[in-house]
Structure 1
Amino acid sequence: MSDASVTTSQSQPLAAWGAVLSMALCVAMLIASEFMPVSLLTLMAEGLGSSEGQTGQAISISGLFAVGASLLITTTAGRLNRKWVMVALTGLMLISLVMVAMAQSFAALMFARALLGICIGGFWALATAVVMRLVPEADVPRALSLMYGGQAIAAAFAAPLGSYLGDIIGWRNVFWSLTPAVAINLIWQLVALPSLPARRSRSFGALVAVLRRRYFLRGILAAMLSWGAAFTMFTYLRPYLEQVTRVDVTALSILLLLLGGAGFVGTWAAGRFIVGNVARQLKYPALIMGTVTFGLLFTGGSSLLTGILLFVWGAMNTAMSVIFMTWMAQNVDDAPEEGGSLMVASIQASILLGAVVGGALLDSWSITATFAGSVILSVAAVAVIGNGHLLLKPQSEKQ
């Protein structure tokens, strides 16, 4: 049962929806900060004197440090109040953005992105556990969909605005423009988040114990393959649209806006239709997004067909986060911080590998090879998930 700080006289928790909204804004800023290089890849590569494949590693380096942070946060934070941990991580995001905007070399960019990775890993590792403490148990899927609405907002506006404004004001000023919103978010969290004392000391042994659960380990593998497939494709979407669809900057911004706007549909659908145990639904993101990526291999010459397919991809990409985190909340409800740490570590590792593999395929062969690699990973994810039965918590472990 959740332990929101405000309760009724019957001791039933009242949802701290203002705090959930502050976390949604933090999600929006995190997503915008992490994946802004996707829409600015060409400009950043030119400005820093590197290849597009190398600059794509700006995403992979943040993923690398996010993996470490997500595994360490529950133990290093110890018995610290989770409110202040979340506030500190948001402050670190602000510092990272300033450093990226001021970077004069590829090495400086990588260092700033490493700091962002620490913020990403720490925030996502604790986010689901925090939400579970802010709202009643029955409202957790709706609260998660609201929080991930921040992802839809960032996907809808960050990439197209970044692409459009990057050619007008320069990529550095695009990153500068994110800093006021992050500063506002920092203040909002200070006001809205209730005190969230740590419930008990954490250890690496607790992480290992959760990872030994066979159904959860299979879910981790499914998440890695699903996100790996998604970001092998998504990281290098701009080169695809420029080289295959041959769009100008205006059409590129419109397509990215369409992709991001679809996230609102995915968030709405996730909040409305995710009910009961969601294990059987885990296969749909990889199945649908992999099919879309496969279709793009043949329809890239048509801006209209490309736009339709990207809309479907964008909707399912947002829903994927809600589906997997709801599954985690349902099946690792006795250890949400440990489960969250492991889930985030696996997802960030897959984003890292997706960016690395996709960049290598792009630089060595072509964008077609990159998208084909994404399809192969999607097929593997669907095979691992199957009908979801093996990803359910056994009845013997339920209280």
Structure 2
Amino acid sequence: MAIVTKRLDRRLVMWALTVLLVLSNLVAAFASSLPVLLIARIMLGISLGGFWSMSAAMAMRLVPMRLMPRAMSIILTGVSVATVCAAPVGAYVGDIWGWRTAFMIAAVVGALALLVQVATIPKLPPAGTAGFRTLLEVMKRPMIRVALLVVLLVASGHFAGFTYVRPFLEKVPALDIETISLVLLAYGIGGFFGNFAGGFMAERSLKAAVSLAPLLIAFSALLLLVVGGSPVVAAIAVASWGFAFGAVPVGLQTWLVRAAPDQAESAGGLMVMTFQVAIALGAVFGGLLVDNTGVASAFAYCAAATLLAALAAFFLGPKPIDDPNS
């Protein structure tokens, strides 16, 4: 995204991405065939990918650096709220008025977001350079490579394990559908509070923020693996998993921006790319593990990957001088 729009005001780019979001929902609402619906989802993917690659860089330019973690936690709160509310609200609207209406309402919400952006975001001329050479130069920075390794381990471990939480809850603690829904709701609520906890911690110690969140994911996965047969323990483990994963993006985005303040958009793009690759790898590897050895092996991989991420972040990650209050 930074490469394609390198000469444009970042405010205009954000507006364009939001317009694309609105159009994607309108195309989906009026889709007459599956290919058209797929095109709409591709448009949505471009919009969201561009937003995530730019969010940290824009936050850095809108607030003082010491408030960067707090700004990111506020931005990422939207994800947590959507995680908790969007699916049930969309399903409810779809059941009553049909799925096309759900997409039209999403388009209206996107249009309202665009109006807020137009009213509040100041002019943000492009800063730094952008290009494939710039991406390669950013990737050569040792701290960026460590941060991307942590992103890869955390995201692949999370999606390898959490993808199979629902079937695990059905089989091991033998929870009914209503209880599972409540447990997953607790996961979403945990993620909401995790965003703010991650920002609070990153303002005080970035090393602690990027180390403890993956460690808590590893602990939660191990808890399910070892004593997940208890419904109460399983519910607590899933909620703590959500809390930890909610804290992860805040610390990692802040870490990447501090490691490349002159190329924050390129660093953000690298994080999004690494995250997407990790999602695919985690899903594939988790599926292979489950097919061959069962759900427990996916949780074991999750625990191992996130533990390695925590160790890498602690021993190789941001030094005290990188922390905001040092």
Task: Say whether the 8 Å CA contact 2:214–2:245 is kept in structure 1.
Answer: no
CA offsets 1:364-383 (integer angstroms, 9 cap, x no match): 55433332332232233234
Q: Does 1:253 align with 2:177?
A: no
Match of 2:255 among 327, 331, 334: 327
Q: Does 1:126 align with 2:54?
A: yes
SS for the counterpart of 1:197 is coil
CA offsets 1:217-239 (integer angstroms, 9 cap, x no match): 11111111111111222334333
**Which residue identity is paired with 1:233?**
G
User: Residues 174 and 213 (structure 1 numbering): CA distance in 2 closer, same or farther, change over 3 Å?
Assistant: farther
User: Residues 282 and 270 (structure 1 numbering): CA distance in 2 closer, same or farther, change over 3 Å?
Assistant: closer
2: CA distance between counterparts of 1:93 and 1:109?
14
Q: How far off is 1:111 after superposition?
A: 4.4
Q: Does 1:199 align with 2:127?
A: yes
2: CA distance between counterparts of 1:299 and 1:115?
43
Q: Does 1:350 align with 2:271?
A: no
**Which residue identity is paired with 1:371?**
F
What is the match of residue 238 of structure 2? 310
Match of 2:190 among 262, 280, 287: 262
Match of 2:115 among 163, 187, 193: 187
User: Residues 247 and 314 (structure 1 numbering): CA distance in 2 closer, same or farther, change over 3 Å?
Assistant: same
1: CA distance between counterparts of 2:63 and 2:139?
26
Q: Does 1:217 align with 2:145?
A: yes
Task: Say whether the 8 Å CA contact 1:93–1:119 is kept in structure 2.
Answer: yes
Q: How does the TM-score come out when normalised to structure 2?
A: 0.85
2: CA distance between counterparts of 1:370 and 1:112?
32
User: Residues 92 and 299 (structure 1 numbering): CA distance in 2 closer, same or farther, change over 3 Å?
Assistant: farther
What is the match of residue 139 of structure 1? 67
CA offsets 1:87-136 (integer angstroms, 9 cap, x no match): 22122233334555677887666544433322222111111110111112
Q: Which moved more, 1:293-302 or 1:251-260?
A: 293-302
CA offsets 1:39-72 (integer angstroms, 9 cap, x no match): xxxxxxxxxxxxxxxxxxxxxxxxxxxxxxxxxx
Query: CA RMSD, aligned part only?
Result: 3.1
CA offsets 1:310-335 (integer angstroms, 9 cap, x no match): 22111111111111112122222122
Match of 1:370 among 293, 298, 318: 298
Q: How far off is 1:280 after superposition?
A: 4.3
Task: Say whether the 8 Å CA contact 2:150–2:313 is kept in structure 1.
Answer: yes
Q: Does 1:79 align with 2:20?
A: no
Task: Say whether the 8 Å CA contact 1:229–1:374 is kept in structure 2.
Answer: yes
1: CA distance between counterparts of 2:165 and 2:41?
20
User: Residues 112 and 223 (structure 1 numbering): CA distance in 2 closer, same or farther, change over 3 Å?
Assistant: same
**Which residue identity is paired with 1:186?**
L
SS for the counterpart of 2:134 is helix
Task: Say whether the 8 Å CA contact 1:280–1:388 is kept in structure 2.
Answer: no
**Which residue identity is paired with 1:275?**
E
Q: How does 1:1-399 map to 2 (within 5 A)?
A: 73-98=1-26, 111-159=39-87, 161=89, 165=92, 168=95, 172=99, 176=103, 178-276=106-204, 278-363=206-291, 366-389=294-317, 391-392=318-319
Query: Aligned residues, how many?
Result: 321
Gaps of 5+ in 1: 1-72
1: CA distance between counterparts of 2:181 and 2:98?
15
Gaps of 5+ in 2: none
User: Residues 167 and 82 (structure 1 numbering): CA distance in 2 closer, same or farther, change over 3 Å?
Assistant: closer
CA offsets 1:268-300 (integer angstroms, 9 cap, x no match): 322333235513432212211011112112444
User: Residues 214 and 174 (structure 1 numbering): CA distance in 2 closer, same or farther, change over 3 Å?
Assistant: farther
What is the match of residue 36 of structure 1? none
Task: Say whether the 8 Å CA contact 1:215–1:392 is kept in structure 2.
Answer: no
